[in-house]
Structure 1
Amino acid sequence: MNIEAVKSIYFFEMARTRRTLLQSVVSPVISTSLYFIVFGAAIGTRIQEIDGISYGAFITPGLMMLTLLTQCIGNGSFGIYFPKFTGTIYEVLSSPISMLEIVLGYVGAAATKGLMIGTIILITASLFVDLSIAHPFVMLFFFVLTAVTFSLFGFLIGIWAKDFEQLNLIPMLVIPPLVFLGGSFYSIDMLPPFWRAVSHFNPVLYLISGFRWSFFEISDVNPLASAAIILVFLALCMSALTWIFRTGYKLRS
Structure 2
Amino acid sequence: MNLHAIRAIYMFEMARAWRTLLQSLVAPVISTSLYFVVFGGAIGNRITEIDGISYGAFIVPGLIMLSLLTQSISNASFGIYFPKFTGTIYEVLSAPVSYLEITLSYVGAAATKSVVLALIILATAAFFVPLRIDHPVWMITFMILTAVTFSLFGFIIGIWADGFEKLQLVPLLIVTPLAFLGGSFYSINMLPPIWQTVTLFNPVVYLISGFRWSFYGVADVSIYTSLAMTLVFLALCLAVVGWIFKTGYKLKR
Question: Which range, TM-score by smaller chain?
Answer: over 0.9
Which one-letter code corresponds to 2:199 in the other structure?
S
Counting only pairs closer than 5 Å after superposition, residues 121-140 of structure 1 correspond to structure 2 as: 121-140=121-140
TM-score by length of 1: 0.99
Q: Which runs of 4+ in 1 moved over 2 A?
A: none
Q: Give, in angstroms, the shift of residue 170 of structure 1.
A: 1.3
2:26 corresponds in structure 1 to 26
1:168 corresponds in structure 2 to 168
1:245 corresponds in structure 2 to 245
Q: Give, in angstroms, the shift of residue 173 of structure 1.
A: 2.3
Q: Give, in angstroms, the shift of residue 41 of structure 1.
A: 2.3
2:70 corresponds in structure 1 to 70
CA RMSD in angstroms comes to 0.7
1:9 corresponds in structure 2 to 9
Identity of matched residues, %: 68
Q: Give, in angstroms, the shift of residue 92 of structure 1.
A: 0.4
2:52 corresponds in structure 1 to 52
| 1-structure distance, mates of 2:15, 2:173 | 27
Aligned residues: 253
1:152 corresponds in structure 2 to 152
1:191 corresponds in structure 2 to 191
Runs of 5+ consecutive residues of structure 2 not aligned to the other structure: none
| 1-structure distance, mates of 2:40, 2:249 | 47
1:231 corresponds in structure 2 to 231
Q: Give, in angstroms, the shift of residue 33 of structure 1.
A: 1.1
Q: Greater CA deviation, 23-32 or 54-63?
A: 23-32
Q: Give, in angstroms, the shift of residue 147 of structure 1.
A: 0.4
Q: Give, in angstroms, the shift of residue 172 of structure 1.
A: 2.2
Runs of 5+ consecutive residues of structure 1 not aligned to the other structure: none
| 1-structure distance, mates of 2:116, 2:14 | 11
| 1-structure distance, mates of 2:66, 2:143 | 12
Which one-letter code corresponds to 1:48 in the other structure?
T
2:117 corresponds in structure 1 to 117
TM-score by length of 2: 0.99
In the TM superposition, what whole-angstrom CA distance separates every residue of 1:17-65 from its partner, at most 9, and x where no partner exists? 1111111111111111111111122210000100000101100000000
